[in-house]
Chains A and B, each alone.
Chain A
């Protein structure tokens, strides 16, 4: 990818992340940390691409490891976040 273009993406993404979190009330900090933890589970996509292009057994082994870890990050992050958020109720909820 064009290096400069990536730099623009870096910059805009950083601002987006900052702006989204700056407004979050303290009561949501734990689910939010766990939710953002889930979002970086998208690393599994990168791991799949690497495994998909792995040539040697060693590369396949590391790739397998990477995909399994990434999948665990995504699945685990989703489950715990959803469980926590399902508990937040208003009065008479």
Chain B
């Protein structure tokens, strides 16, 4: 079927604008323009599709577009920035579901064109279905609907068995094309269950990597279905996202120092206490903490997810502004896995009004801790644990960390004496130059602000 040139042109323009848009998103200054450009690409591609000759069910189509589009638009406008990761997960799952549904219709029609087409349709369906249910589980976990990781007995064996089943059924679909309806239903059921079972045992803190992985999955599924439909715009958009998502997943897994296979197949456990830590934790009051920072020349703030949970980012920015007015240089240091998604902490700080030129990532700032008078750690733990550098027995050994321990003084705002997500004791808290400020991040930051104001 050859399509009219204006339809092909619209799709081409869409693909082109997507790439320009993503390119724009590679720098903070042009990022906003980038998403708007990509948005135009989407509108043009959708509008062009309406002009495909001989299209049926137009009313149904418009209704579906309005329903899905409006529901997502409204929920997207309302979602809080801290809840952003699960929102991205659920939108992503929907894309995967759509790709799987496209394949389902293709199978139901039974007019597969060639073996290659069928193979890619099956692959896209499998990956899309896994991404769909997997993303729903990820959403449920981050939203707090599902409270804890659910591990089946012999989880890995079940995973392998299900995956083998799904692949086997997929091969059967290719060999017996056009497949019987029973086989199609069975194939989709196993694929959907696979996504569910694989994701259920994964802990909340590993979710960012999982969301990123499913994002790549959906991209690939869309790309494969694009081949089946003979639509280059879908192929390009899908594969670009698939490749980008794969890279992003690798970057994240590396930042956590956990290989992907590890995240998918083994739960994180604290493997013993590691080396014994000498020294004791020393407390400090808000007034002393305020004084230490007020008379410092350089302060580096290390925010963790604990700060976001406490909704302290606005207070922290207010404190930063007061310090800056007093002539103190203040910088923010962000670990790659701070928050529930790569770069999530940056979004939360941006929401509080912190300009992005004050925010630095690990490689940029690690050399500067040595010149800092105070490192202020708020709701972060494992990402500043020096054991990751020195203690080979520690479960987090080898994870790149922020070298907060090299600052003259370290102040840690923390709710209690507990350990971080990894369950590992933090050697930093026991060092001589470290002081603990126990309390919730938001009221604590408020107290520090009061004292700073009093000091003038």
The residues of A with any CB-CB pair to B shorter than 8 Å are 1, 3, 6, 9-10, 13-18, 20-56, 58-60, 62-93
The residues of B with any CB-CB pair to A shorter than 8 Å are 11, 14, 18-19, 21-23, 25-29, 31-32, 34-36, 38-39, 42, 45-46, 49-50, 52, 54-58, 60-61, 63-73, 75-77, 79, 81, 84-85, 87-88, 90-92, 94-95, 97-99, 101-102, 104-106, 108-109, 114, 116, 211-212, 215, 218-219, 221-223, 225-227, 229-245, 247-248, 251, 334, 336, 339, 341-344, 346-347, 350-351, 353, 355-359, 361-362
Instruction: Give the contacting residue for B357; candidates A83, A84, A90; CB below 8 A.
Output: A90
Asked if residues B25 and A24 are in contact (CB atoms below 8 Å), the reply is: yes
5 contacts between A and B (CB under 8 A): A17-B242, A43-B238, A46-B99, A76-B94, A85-B35
- CB contacts (< 8 Å) of B19 on chain A: these are 16, 20
Q: In this complex, what residue of A is CB-closest to B99?
A: A43
- CB contacts (< 8 Å) of B240 on chain A: these are 13-14, 16-17, 20, 36, 39
Instruction: Give the contacting residue for A91; candidates B23, B65, B355; CB below 8 A.
Output: B355
Asked if residues A50 and B105 are in contact (CB atoms below 8 Å), the reply is: yes
Most chain B beta carbons < 10 A, residue from A9, A27, A33? A33
Asked if residues A69 and B68 are in contact (CB atoms below 8 Å), the reply is: yes
Instruction: Give the contacting residue for B239; candidates A13, A22, A90; CB below 8 A.
Output: A13
B39 to chain A, nearest CB (A): 5
Asked if residues A36 and B31 are in contact (CB atoms below 8 Å), the reply is: no
Asked if residues B244 and A31 are in contact (CB atoms below 8 Å), the reply is: no
| A to B contact number (C-beta, < 8 Å) | 382
Asked if residues A63 and B355 are in contact (CB atoms below 8 Å), the reply is: no
Asked if residues B361 and A25 are in contact (CB atoms below 8 Å), the reply is: yes
Instruction: Give the contacting residue for B65; candidates A28, A39, A44; CB below 8 A.
Output: A44
Asked if residues B347 and A31 are in contact (CB atoms below 8 Å), the reply is: yes
Using A37-B88, A75-B68, A76-B73 as known contacts, say yes or no to A54 and B28 having CB atoms under 8 A apart: no
Asked if residues B248 and A85 are in contact (CB atoms below 8 Å), the reply is: no
Most chain B beta carbons < 10 A, residue from A52, A76, A77, A90? A76
A39 to chain B, nearest CB (A): 5
Asked if residues A69 and B26 are in contact (CB atoms below 8 Å), the reply is: no
Using A66-B98, A69-B95 as known contacts, say yes or no to A29 and B342 having CB atoms under 8 A apart: yes
Asked if residues A43 and B243 are in contact (CB atoms below 8 Å), the reply is: no
In whole angstroms, how far apart are the Cα atoms of A85 and B42 in the complex?
18
B450 to chain A, nearest CB (A): 26
- CB contacts (< 8 Å) of A21 on chain B: these are 22, 26, 243-244, 247-248
In whole angstroms, how far apart are the Cα atoms of A13 and B332 in the complex?
36
A51 to chain B, nearest CB (A): 5
A78 to chain B, nearest CB (A): 5
A36 to chain B, nearest CB (A): 4
A23 to chain B, nearest CB (A): 5
Chain A to chain B: the 8 pairs with minimum beta-carbon distance, closest first: A17-B243, A29-B343, A76-B72, A79-B76, A71-B68, A68-B68, A66-B101, A52-B55
Asked if residues B57 and A54 are in contact (CB atoms below 8 Å), the reply is: yes
Asked if residues B336 and A51 are in contact (CB atoms below 8 Å), the reply is: no
Q: In this complex, what residue of A is CB-closest to B58?
A: A52
Most chain B beta carbons < 10 A, residue from A24, A30, A39, A47? A39
Using A37-B88, A62-B101, A62-B108 as known contacts, say yes or no to A1 and B227 having CB atoms under 8 A apart: yes
- CB contacts (< 8 Å) of A76 on chain B: these are 72-73, 75-76, 87, 90-91, 94
Asked if residues B361 and A49 are in contact (CB atoms below 8 Å), the reply is: no
- CB contacts (< 8 Å) of A69 on chain B: these are 68, 94-95, 97-98, 101
Q: In this complex, what residue of A is CB-closest to B342?
A: A29
Asked if residues B232 and A1 are in contact (CB atoms below 8 Å), the reply is: yes
Q: In this complex, what residue of A is CB-closest to B45?
A: A45
Asked if residues B108 and A58 are in contact (CB atoms below 8 Å), the reply is: yes
Asked if residues B347 and A30 are in contact (CB atoms below 8 Å), the reply is: yes
Asked if residues B95 and A28 are in contact (CB atoms below 8 Å), the reply is: no
In whole angstroms, how far apart are the Cα atoms of A46 and B224 in the complex?
11
Asked if residues B225 and A33 are in contact (CB atoms below 8 Å), the reply is: no
- CB contacts (< 8 Å) of A58 on chain B: these are 108
Q: In this complex, what residue of B is CB-closest to A18?
A: B243
Asked if residues B36 and A82 are in contact (CB atoms below 8 Å), the reply is: yes
In whole angstroms, how far apart are the Cα atoms of A49 and B14 in the complex?
16
B354 to chain A, nearest CB (A): 9
In whole angstroms, how far apart are the Cα atoms of A52 and B53 in the complex?
10
Instruction: Give the contacting residue for A86; candidates B23, B32, B245, B355; CB below 8 A.
Output: B32
Instruction: Give the contacting residue for A18; candidates B14, B223, B244; CB below 8 A.
Output: B244
Instruction: Give the contacting residue for B61; candidates A48, A59, A88, A90; CB below 8 A.
Output: A48
